[in-house]
């Protein structure tokens, strides 16, 4: 299957999946309004808002993938960014997706961590993608009292900061690790389903590289959880100041 066919098939799958979700939410909202269920209507409204934001991000991903495929560079707008604050915001954003489960999410910031020098929007997209992958992996592993996801922010040498998403999920077989960032390749992990575009990690790796860092994924094997992490320049470093 060539890349063009993989791309169009993936887009069709993802759009169909999102359209079905939109239809369900609209029907829920109409029913709630008709029955005078104000609380349900407000909940649906919030979910619709998140849905719209997700579609905007999806459109941006498609645009960026097109640029990468054509060999063109992606625009960056680096500035001071607190990775800890960003992580806390994203944990709060995705919290509804684990409501009713035993999954625990937390953010740990190691001593001595300062601000990063990176593109805030691109960095947010990378971390959101890693966090959503971790949630899917933990859910795929099945119910557990130890189900957890921890985002760890730490200094990595003198010039970089590292943001690691550590999960207790289904894990990854060693022979699959090197395939995860291949363009349009979707690795089917134990307990996980879907045939989407498989572009999330590829694009994330590209974005991190453009900002001067690297994205890595490690796992001890199936059932052993995983660690997805990326580095970005620390503001105090000469790299960030362009020295």
pLDDT (0 to 100) of residue 114: 93
Predicted local distance difference test score (pLDDT) of residue 89? 92
User: Rounded to two decimals, what is the model's pTM?
Assistant: 0.74
Q: Tell me what pLDDT residue 238 has.
A: 45
- Second CATH level (architecture) for the domain 79-241: 2-Layer Sandwich (3.30)
- Phi and psi at residue 73, to the nearest 5°: -80, 155
- Secondary structure class of 29 (helix, strand, coil): helix
- Domain map of the chain by residue range? 3-69, 79-241
What is the full per-residue pLDDT of the chain (243 aa) written as tens digits?
455 555 566 566 566 656 676 777 778 778 878 788 887 777 777 777 777 776 777 777 777 777 766 777 778 899 999 999 999 999 988 888 888 899 999 999 999 999 999 999 899 989 998 998 899 899 988 888 899 999 999 999 989 999 999 999 999 888 877 766 655 555 555 555 444 434 578 778 888 998 999 999 999 988 899 999 999 999 975 444 454
- Give the pLDDT score at 28: 75
Nearest to 167 by CA among 91, 89, 72, 60: 91
* pLDDT score of 179: 67
Exposure letters 184-218 (e unless 16+ CB within 10 A, then b): bebeebeebeeeebbbbbbbbbbbbebbbbebbbe
pLDDT of residue 195: 43
Q: Where are the alpha helices (DSSP H) in the chain?
A: 3-34, 38-69, 83-94, 120-140, 174-177, 200-210, 238-241
pLDDT at 240: 47
CA distance 243 to 238: 5
In angstroms, the first-to-last Cα distance of the chain is 45
């Amino acid at each position: 299957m060539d890349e063009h066919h993989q791309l169009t098939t993936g887009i069709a799958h993802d759009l169909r999946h999102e359209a079905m979700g939109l239809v369900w939410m609209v029907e829920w909202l109409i029913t709630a309004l008709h029955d005078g269920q104000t609380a349900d209507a407000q909940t649906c409204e919030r979910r619709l808002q998140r849905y719209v934001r997700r579609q905007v991000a999806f459109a941006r991903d498609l645009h960026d993938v097109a640029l990468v495929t054509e060999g063109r560079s992606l625009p960056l707008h680096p500035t001071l960014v607190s990775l800890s604050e960003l992580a806390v915001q994203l944990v709060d954003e995705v919290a509804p997706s684990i409501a009713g489960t035993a999954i625990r999410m937390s953010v740990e910031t190691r001593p001595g961590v300062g601000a990063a020098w990176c593109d805030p929007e691109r960095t947010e997209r990378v971390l959101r993608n890693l966090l959503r992958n971790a949630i899917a992996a933990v859910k795929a592993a099945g119910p557990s009292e130890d189900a957890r996801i921890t985002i760890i922010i730490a200094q990595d040498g003198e010039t970089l900061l590292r943001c690691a998403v550590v999960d207790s999920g289904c894990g990854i077989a060693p022979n699959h690790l090197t395939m995860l960032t291949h363009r349009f390749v979707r690795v089917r992990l134990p307990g996980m389903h879907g045939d989407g575009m498989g572009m999330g990690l590829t694009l994330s790796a590209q974005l991190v590289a453009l900002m001067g860092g690297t994205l890595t994924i490690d796992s001890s094997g199936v059932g052993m959880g995983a660690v997805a992490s990326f580095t970005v320049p620390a503001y105090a470093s000469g790299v960030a100041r362009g020295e």
